Structure 1
Amino acid sequence: MTEPLLTIRDLSIEGRQGRAWQPILRGVDLELRRGEVLGLIGESGAGKSTLGLAAMGYTRDGTRIAGGEITFDGMDLRALGARRLRGLRGRRIAYVAQSAAANFNPSQRLIDQYTEAPVDIHQLRTRPEAAREARELYARLRLPEPDVIGFRYPHQVSGGQLQRAMTAMAMSCEPDLIIFDEPTTALDVTTQIEVLRAIRDAVREIGTAAIYITHDLAVVAQMADRIKVLLRGEEVEEQPTRAMLAAPREAYSRSLWAVRSFRAPEHSVPPAGATPVLRVAGVTAEYSPGTPVLQDVSFDVHSGRTVAVVGESGSGKSTAARVITGLLPAVSGRIELDGTPLPPRLARRDPAALRQVQMIHQSADTALNPKHTIREILGRPLRFYLGLRGPAREARIRELLADIELDPDDFIGRTPAALSGGQKQRIGIARALAAEPRLIICDEVTSALDQLVAEGILKLLTRLQEVRGLAYMFITHDLATVRAIADHVVVMQHGRVVEQGPKDEMFRPPHHPYTRLLLTSVPDMDPDWLDRTIAERQES
């Protein structure tokens, strides 16, 4: 057997809390050989990303390595100086972060950020060579218009497209080891298949070793040779993938494999002629003249009900939200709130209308100001929309924290950096609730969360809806989430609504061909599913 490329022994990492240091990882071991993929799974806060970053000899601010060994290709990473570590990172060890939006420079084009590592930092390619390779990788990762998409800025592409661009960047120097930290979290199921295939093929062709961090157990089943389960910083067990899927040894591992059963209560169909909270009527919109990104889109959202809008990356889901909120004025059609047309432009809407439509964003990391405390984050909408100040505002902040099931005394003075992913998303919910809206647009709010935390968020949103009669427009590519919470489903493709109807009807055949494609693109726990699905589609 070949020597390991990466060896981690008895690794302990601590994080600062006030003046004390608390354990994050406790004595974890890891071995990885060239061409091998290790899957890391576990719930939020298990230490997966901390372990992945440690494989680069890196720890986040406020954390430290308290003990253990990290050896990469015979080199002790803990003993290397900063200059030699910089020479390894990006060149021989690459990292694909979970939140692409937070890791791109918004002022530089995608192609310039791709070429930075192979050309400017490591001098491995000329700029024309690197640009050519970028276009080839963009095509393999199924990015639209691969020859020209690199000339766009990060804000001009969808979240899923940006995640694929980051994956291409990590592969730019053909590294020996890539740490994939939730690389397909932001992708719809149809695109995910092609990206998983491209990642796996690239790993095999280059002979790269990979650590694949994910909370999606069906995805790790397709990608990993072995699976390691973590819980609260400790290793629970590690087995070859097929053995782990067939017979996990530990009770915690078996709990991760259990099928989540949460379903929101069914809501009655609104009576004929009832006025919806939101009406989107024949909306067409475009980013550049003559090139529509939405075409004749129509749907209603009624009080106390949830409309799920689904479709692949670039289908127009988030663009529809931008039109509804006034960030992108419609070219034609109208947006109505409680039967009253809204001005197309955000600047023309009065504060009362602004208050009634709020949004919870996909990436809490970029949606919450990292410099502000939770008191400041929640206090701002209370002051802006409701005019609350002083003790009244403080009391309402505390009520909101209690509503989202966070202890006010513990959380009110924290900043977002001191919160887990699920806690940040709860703060995003509280900020939306602060305005006392009629409608909340939830944009992929559970996509970055593990199954246990995501289920908690769905339960919270459902409870708040039942208590407050909220209307939800739920943008998602996760069909399991649609089954759990939706009353009505709108399927979008290429900026159009291709099918819509009550949830139960949408999941029963016959289906529109595109809806059928979505339903058959949801991975299952069979390690052969990806190969079989790709083969079936090539034959058809």
Structure 2
Amino acid sequence: MNTDTPLLTMRGVRIDGFADERWTPIVKGVDLTLHRGQVLGLIGESGAGKSTLGLAAMGFARPGCRISGGEILFDGIDLMRASEAEKQALRGVRIAYVAQSAAAAFNPAHTLLEQTIEAPVRHGLMSAAEAADYARTLYAAMDLPDPDTIGDRYPHQVSGGQLQRAMTAMAMCAKPDLIIFDEPTTALDVTTQVNVLAAMRKAIREFGTAAIYITHDLAVVAQMADRIKVLRYGEEVEEAPTETMLAAPKHPYTKSLWAVRAIRKPGETGPDKVLELNGITAAYGTIPVLRDISLAVPRGKTVALVGESGSGKSTTARVITGLLPPVAGEVRFEGAPLPPALRGRSRDQLRRIQMIYQSADTAMNPRHTVHEIIGRPVQFYLGKSGAEVTARVSQLLDMIELDDSFMDRLPGELSGGQKQRICIARALAAEPDVIICDEVTSALDQIVQEGILKLLMKLQRTLGLSYIFITHDIDTVRAIADEVVVMFQGEVVEQGLKEQIFAPPHPAYTELLLSSVPKMETGWLEDRIAAQARTASGG
């Protein structure tokens, strides 16, 4: 294997997008070189062209885009001149893609195993039995539960974090030469993320695979990448070995990326409790998922629910909103018990507790305009109509720092950060007292994250809102939370003021969460894995 010859060479690549009846440059003459066994990290804020460039490495452009110039060579194959059939023969076999949204990558009608082995079997690389054995090996490497049988499950029968790991196994099953990772650990809790990153690193090194790792998480790219390339507005800002980039970024923009994690916490407000959960036990069918959960949300404050995938965070939100009536216990709002089921609550009770979801893409109807999306709760909860609705939508757009030109836009015409702002405006339209934020920044790059968090904190100070902030991002918790509730396997492990929770000594699980947060230093992942091994062996 000749490692001196690049596996992938991209020279002067230009990619255009079609909008407003004309083609507009998205990627503007970017170069990229990648050798076997090397990992290149692509970072930059939303709209920088990271994913667009990553897809172009497969000779692919999204609908509405075109690769308009430059050269793309994969192992000597000219992807700019190759036929569609030739490119299709490479994709999924020699070049694999791991997307951010695992739910969209799987067919709900087929088992995980059927879909994992499809590429190597269809292309004649392995028999079905050989592929199935290898898939189970990958499931074990990805730390999936019951690796010998989890492949028999359907996508809806596993958690989001498990599905993300299964998607990574599916991409690796054909033993590709190049894997493009597009924000693959964004939705994972920190402890799961460590295991997935370690499995990815192991597989890349074992098979000499090259990888392009697209992310907005600087600590993650520090663990995964040998080199880092920074993009902005479709142009290269700078590129350097990872250690050099972390220690001494040259460009002012790169320095600004390194600095965006420092966010101020919201101002102090009243101490009274607006929402309480007392002894909540909940189950899906006969399977218990919450056990004797009690917590309180002070008025005007932020309570963060943290824990790994499957700990019960989102289930707690479903109980609060009435989507999952508890088996035992009660939810109290301003001292009075709330009906356990959604259908038993009054319109005013529904109005006062709103929710913002992780995926703005699936939370909005793609055929409704921004005016319709925000205006609907204005009509439903406040009884307004006609010009009153339009006036209120205009006010709400101003509150989320957008202007009236957005009213007639569809979700597909918005950036990720703009979509999440519209979802915030929709929640505000009901004039609530409590907003549940379920991983609302996890899919956004860090500069956009900072903008969303600052907006939420500004709204909290202005409107006196209370937030329940469900997240696996410990840095976000440090930045915005007043109180923290740590959950594990459906139970509360620890809760209290943020300063108390983050001050040692910690219960074992809290210590695991805090120690699993990736640091912006090379070698952290290896040190963390070694520490886990020592703990497991009793050393």
TM-score, structure 1 as length reference = 0.95
**Preserved contact between residue 404 and residue 430 of structure 1 (Cα < 8 Å):** yes
Q: Is 2:67 the counterpart of 1:65?
A: yes
Select the residue among 506, 509, 523 that pairs with 1:511: 506
Q: CA deviation at 1:191?
A: 1.3
Distance of 2:468 and 2:246 partners within structure 1: 35
- Give the CA RMSD over aligned residues: 1.7
Distance of 1:87 and 1:369 partners within structure 2: 35
1:130 paired residue number: 131
Deviates more, 1:369-378 or 1:465-474: 369-378
Distance of 2:461 and 2:40 partners within structure 1: 42
The residue type equivalent to 2:277 in the other structure is V
Report % sequence identity: 65
Q: CA deviation at 1:44?
A: 1.1
Distance of 1:287 and 1:131 partners within structure 2: 31
Q: CA deviation at 1:382?
A: 2.2
**Preserved contact between residue 99 and residue 363 of structure 1 (Cα < 8 Å):** no
Select the residue among 398, 417, 423 that pairs with 2:418: 423
The residue type equivalent to 2:335 in the other structure is G
Q: CA deviation at 1:206?
A: 1.6
Counterpart secondary structure, 1:492: strand
2:251 paired residue number: 250
2:495 paired residue number: 500
Question: Cα–Cα, structure 1 residues 375 and 346, in superposed 2: closer, same or farther, change >3 Å?
Answer: same
2:265 paired residue number: 264
Select the residue among 274, 278, 283 that pairs with 2:275: 278
1:214 paired residue number: 215
**Preserved contact between residue 70 and residue 76 of structure 1 (Cα < 8 Å):** yes
Q: Is 2:382 the counterpart of 1:378?
A: no
Q: Is 2:461 the counterpart of 1:462?
A: no
Q: Is 2:525 the counterpart of 1:523?
A: no
Q: Is 2:473 the counterpart of 1:472?
A: no
Distance of 2:113 and 2:345 partners within structure 1: 38
Distance of 2:408 and 2:107 partners within structure 1: 30
**Preserved contact between residue 267 and residue 461 of structure 2 (Cα < 8 Å):** no
Distance of 1:389 and 1:59 partners within structure 2: 43
Distance of 2:285 and 2:487 partners within structure 1: 20
Q: CA deviation at 1:259?
A: 5.4
The residue type equivalent to 2:284 in the other structure is Y
Q: CA deviation at 1:321?
A: 1.0
**Preserved contact between residue 322 and residue 328 of structure 1 (Cα < 8 Å):** yes
Select the residue among 422, 426, 441 that pairs with 2:436: 441
Distance of 1:247 and 1:137 partners within structure 2: 37
**Preserved contact between residue 260 and residue 450 of structure 2 (Cα < 8 Å):** no
Distance of 1:78 and 1:339 partners within structure 2: 66
Q: CA deviation at 1:18?
A: 1.1
Select the residue among 501, 516, 535 that pairs with 2:530: 535
Distance of 2:379 and 2:159 partners within structure 1: 32
1:297 paired residue number: 293
Correspondence 1:113-512 to 2 at 5 A:
113-119=115-121, 121-258=122-259, 260-268=261-269, 270=271, 274=272, 276-289=273-286, 291-409=287-405, 411-512=406-507
The residue type equivalent to 2:234 in the other structure is G
The residue type equivalent to 1:230 in the other structure is L
The residue type equivalent to 1:132 in the other structure is D
Distance of 1:298 and 1:173 partners within structure 2: 47
Q: CA deviation at 1:335?
A: 1.5
Q: Is 2:88 the counterpart of 1:91?
A: no
Q: Is 2:102 the counterpart of 1:105?
A: no
Deviates more, 1:368-377 or 1:36-45: 368-377
- Unpaired segments ≥5 residues, structure 1: none
Distance of 1:366 and 1:125 partners within structure 2: 36
Cα deviations by residue, 1:63-105 (Å, 9 ceiling, x for unpaired): 1112111111111112222222222111111111112233333
Q: CA deviation at 1:362?
A: 0.9
- Unpaired segments ≥5 residues, structure 2: none
Distance of 1:153 and 1:438 partners within structure 2: 38
Distance of 1:76 and 1:525 partners within structure 2: 36
Distance of 2:462 and 2:521 partners within structure 1: 40
Question: Cα–Cα, structure 1 residues 495 and 76, in superposed 2: closer, same or farther, change >3 Å?
Answer: same
Counterpart secondary structure, 2:146: coil
Deviates more, 1:243-252 or 1:108-117: 108-117
Distance of 2:329 and 2:320 partners within structure 1: 11
Cα deviations by residue, 1:223-252 (Å, 9 ceiling, x for unpaired): 111110111100011111112122222221
Distance of 2:512 and 2:138 partners within structure 1: 25
Deviates more, 1:91-100 or 1:336-345: 336-345
**Preserved contact between residue 270 and residue 300 of structure 2 (Cα < 8 Å):** no
Distance of 1:130 and 1:441 partners within structure 2: 43
The residue type equivalent to 2:384 in the other structure is L
**Preserved contact between residue 373 and residue 414 of structure 1 (Cα < 8 Å):** yes
Q: CA deviation at 1:60?
A: 1.1
Distance of 1:122 and 1:378 partners within structure 2: 48
The residue type equivalent to 2:279 in the other structure is G
**Preserved contact between residue 266 and residue 460 of structure 2 (Cα < 8 Å):** no
Distance of 1:154 and 1:465 partners within structure 2: 37
Question: Cα–Cα, structure 1 residues 472 and 389, in superposed 2: closer, same or farther, change >3 Å?
Answer: same
Select the residue among 25, 28, 38 that pairs with 2:27: 25
Distance of 1:287 and 1:137 partners within structure 2: 29
The residue type equivalent to 1:279 in the other structure is E
Deviates more, 1:343-352 or 1:464-473: 343-352
**Preserved contact between residue 204 and residue 210 of structure 2 (Cα < 8 Å):** yes
Cα deviations by residue, 1:128-175 (Å, 9 ceiling, x for unpaired): 433333332222112233334333333333322222121111112111
Deviates more, 1:325-334 or 1:437-446: 325-334
Q: CA deviation at 1:493?
A: 0.6
**Preserved contact between residue 285 and residue 332 of structure 1 (Cα < 8 Å):** yes
Q: CA deviation at 1:30?
A: 0.5
Deviates more, 1:202-211 or 1:94-103: 94-103
Distance of 1:15 and 1:259 partners within structure 2: 29
1:41 paired residue number: 43
Distance of 1:278 and 1:213 partners within structure 2: 39
Distance of 1:146 and 1:347 partners within structure 2: 40
1:76 paired residue number: 78
Counterpart secondary structure, 2:102: coil
